[in-house]
Amino acid sequence: MAAAMRLVVTGRHGQLATALAERAAGKGITLIACGRPELALEHPASIAPALSALTPDIIVNAAAWTAVDRAESEPERAHAINAAGAGTVATTAAMLGVPVIQISTDYVFDGSATTPYRESDPVAPLGVYGQSKLAGEQAVMAATGDHAILRTSWVFSATGQNFVRTMLRLAETRSGISVVADQIGRPTPADDLAEAVLGVAANLLSRRGEPALRGIFHVGGTGDAVSWAGFAEAIFAERVRRGAGAVSVRPIGAADYPTPARRPAWSVLDGARLKETHGIILPDWRIGLARCMDRLMTTEQAP
């Protein structure tokens, strides 16, 4: 990074906040992760005092209610955190005169497309989680023009709760695992996402008068789109390369694994606008998966 930056990120223990802390080191960035109890998105009165006290140059709102199925039974809480909370973070950013980066999701789409989703495509979330995140996008846009909304998908890392760690945990006791094969997307390594966030943040701060750098952007891993079953196969192939036993994947349909919330059947995001405006493109997700597996299958980080 060319200039010093004081970046405040909400969601202290999340995958993205953790990855941002790792990636910020050595780049002239002071990164401060904040969260409960000092800042809780579902308690609006806590947000402005907590953020103001940290005197940020830019705010990244990575905190969210991500329990997709529980959101169906607790819609008020999902909206309080993902919509009203995001709006209050953005309002506070506007009050402080700093940009805000809002992390959003592929779940704002209904998954009926057959080509990668562009930012201008119609949104139609299938469930409460997607609806609350879309409402959060709208709240951010209403609160401040100095924003970048980054939609991402299928985030994984060596920390936190994610698909990679779940598959490795199951592989410890099973020789075969049934995985949904009719939902398609591109996985996103959290550390690559963090690198992109830092790049967007630097651009927003150094080029304050450029509206093209503001708005909605799709930020996801590149490479082949895969089903969850295909993703699991890639994980287990990396596991075998590191000396573990083989695990078979049994492809099933989403209808065979019913959940309270419907998921998009197609979650592939088009990152062309991010590349064109910010000059950022993420690497192939398989590179990030290999890096993640190196961490998970050593004593540094147990699954």
Distance CA(248)–CA(233), nearest Å, equals 8
The pLDDT confidence band at residue 301, using thresholds 50, 70 and 90, is: very low
Distances (CA, A) of 141 to 135, 136, 149, 212, 237: 10, 9, 9, 14, 42
Q: Which residues are catalytic?
A: 129
- For the chain, the domains span 5-162+187-222+265-283
Distances (CA, A) of 49 to 92, 93, 143, 170: 9, 12, 17, 43
Q: Say which amino acid occupies 213.
A: L
Residue 187 has pLDDT above 90, yes or no: yes
5-162+187-222+265-283 CATH, one of 3.40.50.1970, 3.30.210.10, 3.50.50.60, 3.40.50.720: 3.40.50.720
Q: Of the ranges 47-61, 205-219, 288-302, which one carries the lowest mean pLDDT score?
A: 288-302
Residue 209, pLDDT score: 83
Residue 298, pLDDT score: 81
Q: Give the other-Cβ count within 10 Å of 145's Cβ.
A: 11
Mean pLDDT of 43-67: 94
Mean pLDDT of 123-147: 97
Query: Model pTM?
Result: 0.94
What are the backbone angles phi and psi of residue 232, rounded to the nearest 5°? -60, -40
Residue carrying structure tokens 């059947």:
265
Which is it for strands 147-152 and 100-105: parallel, antiparallel or unpaired? Answer: parallel
Residue 282, pLDDT score: 97
Mean pLDDT of 195-199: 96
Instruction: Name residues whose C-beta falls within 8 Å of residue 237's C-beta, 6 or more positions apart in sequence.
Output: none
The continuous run of DSSP H or E covering 131 comes out as helix 128-143
